[in-house]
Amino acid sequence: MKHTRDRNIELLLTGRAGIDINTTKAGCTFADIPAFTKSVGGSPANIVQGAARLGLKTGFLGKVSHDGMGEYILSSLQAQGIETKGIAVDRTGARNCIAVTEIISAEQSGGYATGGDAFHHGTYLYRQGTADILYSPEDVDGDMIAAAKCVMLSGTAFSQSPSREAMFKILQLARDHGTMTVLDIDYRPFGWTSKDETARCYARVMEQCDIVIGNREEFDAVEYLSMPGNKDNEKSARALLDVGVKLVIVKDGANGSTAYTSDGSVLRCGIIPTAAIKTFGSGDAYAAGLMYGILRERGLAYAMQLGTACASLALTTISCGDAMPDLQAAERHRAQHEKEMMP
């Protein structure tokens, strides 16, 4: 492994950075939303903003559109102290991915019936042919990977080419430079051609990662071929540890999160009871807090608790990326609920 330069980036994110069009009012359908606000969104972009808010030195690899939205993404990330020189600008006319949010209730029941037709309610995603998917191996800034302690990749970025090939190049460069690799499974069915393809691709990715983070539903997709029907979190984790992953984090809703390590340790962290406004974005906040604790070497228990505290706070806000908590707020929330999170 090469260690030829200072690691001046603690956490490098890669994947999609897009636009969130946020509702300004919870508890109503799209037709009744009076106004919207905008923020930089997309799971990887949410995580990098959350990590920067906590105080980590951060950077981003990806591609944005050559228009006002792309310009807004770059300027917004730069204003937060996030290194953006690894973000390429598309010249083909592709647009950025967009998510329009609607909050009916924290439970997001998924639909209701009117005249016999079921309607889905939640986040409206527009990701067909977007700039982030056009991020190619030629766009990858190897110097940023060499300068990073850790790079976190989003599973969605593997769903289509040329982004898929760019992600595998990042994994290879990370191994070459001794950079820690983390996979946020981030499974979204759209974009993948089949469940078989999804499972095979994730299997290739995971065996090249040091840390894997996902929720129970995401592990179900990963195990579609290898362990169909499995619901045993420990069995899921052991399968990954057996192929070289050093740490597996399984997020399991009301059951909290569990960490499985390569030395055989199992560590559990409970939830913080929260009056949630929404559900989306909390996983991104958890990842930001978790990585802060790991990269600042505060111990795994602390990292999981800080991630849980960040997730809890994120549930109480309407938007995502621009509402991630700072370290003072997250640490205060963690300390107040530390006993509740202990197994």
Q: State how far the Cα of 160 lies from the Cα of 118, in Å rounded to an integer.
A: 30
Q: Please, which residues have CB within 8 angstroms of residue 336's CB and are 6 or more apart in sequence?
A: none
Backbone dihedral angles phi then psi of residue 52, each to the nearest 5 degrees: -65, -40
The closest alpha carbon to 298, from 286, 289, 310, belongs to: 289
Q: State how far the Cα of 273 lies from the Cα of 206, in Å rounded to an integer.
A: 32
pLDDT at 115: 36
pLDDT in tens, 250-266: 999 889 999 999 999 99
pLDDT at 1: 35
Compute the mean pLDDT over every residue in the chain, rounded to the nearest whole number. 92
Mean local confidence (pLDDT), 97-105? 89
Domains and their CATH numbers in the chain: 9-341 (3.40.1190.20)
Mean local confidence (pLDDT), 204-219? 96
Q: State how far the Cα of 148 lies from the Cα of 9, in Å rounded to an integer.
A: 4
pLDDT band at 190 (very low <50, low <70, confident <90, very high): confident
What percentage of the chain carries pLDDT values higher than 70? Answer: 94
Mean local confidence (pLDDT), 162-181? 98
pLDDT at 222: 93
pLDDT at 106: 54
Q: State how far the Cα of 292 lies from the Cα of 297, in Å rounded to an integer.
A: 8
Q: State how far the Cα of 129 lies from the Cα of 178, in Å rounded to an integer.
A: 33
pLDDT at residue 19 above 50?
Answer: yes
Chain centre to alpha carbon of residue 129: 20
Mean local confidence (pLDDT), 117-144? 86
pLDDT at 107: 53
The closest alpha carbon to 5, from 143, 161, 114, 112, belongs to: 143
pLDDT at residue 187 above 90?
Answer: yes
Instruction: Tell me which of 120-129, 257-266, 320-329 is least confident.
Output: 120-129
Q: Find out whether 50 and 62 touch, Cβ atoms under 8 Å.
A: no
pLDDT at 279: 81
Q: Are strands 148-154 and 180-184 parallel, antiparallel or unpaired?
A: parallel
- Degrees to nearest 5, angle at CA 120 with 114 and 124: 135
pLDDT at 313: 95
3-state secondary structure of 242: coil
Q: Find out whether 150 and 57 touch, Cβ atoms under 8 Å.
A: no
Chain centre to alpha carbon of residue 97: 15
pLDDT band at 120 (very low <50, low <70, confident <90, very high): low
Q: Find out whether 130 and 18 touch, Cβ atoms under 8 Å.
A: yes
Q: Find out whether 246 and 262 touch, Cβ atoms under 8 Å.
A: yes
pLDDT at 312: 95
pLDDT band at 110 (very low <50, low <70, confident <90, very high): very low
pLDDT at residue 108 above 80?
Answer: no
pLDDT at 119: 47
Mean local confidence (pLDDT), 303-310? 98
pLDDT at residue 109 above 60?
Answer: no
Q: Find out whether 11 and 291 touch, Cβ atoms under 8 Å.
A: yes
Give the best-scoring range by mean pLDDT among 112-116, 144-148, 185-189, 278-282. Answer: 144-148
* 142-172 b/e (C-beta count within 10 Å ≥ 16 → b): eebbbbbbbbbbbbbbbbbebbbebbbbbbe
What percentage of the chain carries pLDDT values higher than 90? Answer: 82
Predicted TM-score (pTM) of this structure: 0.94
The secondary structure of 88-144 as a DSSP string is: EE--S-PPPPEEEE--S-TT----EEETTEEE--SEEEE-TT-GGGG--GGG--HHH
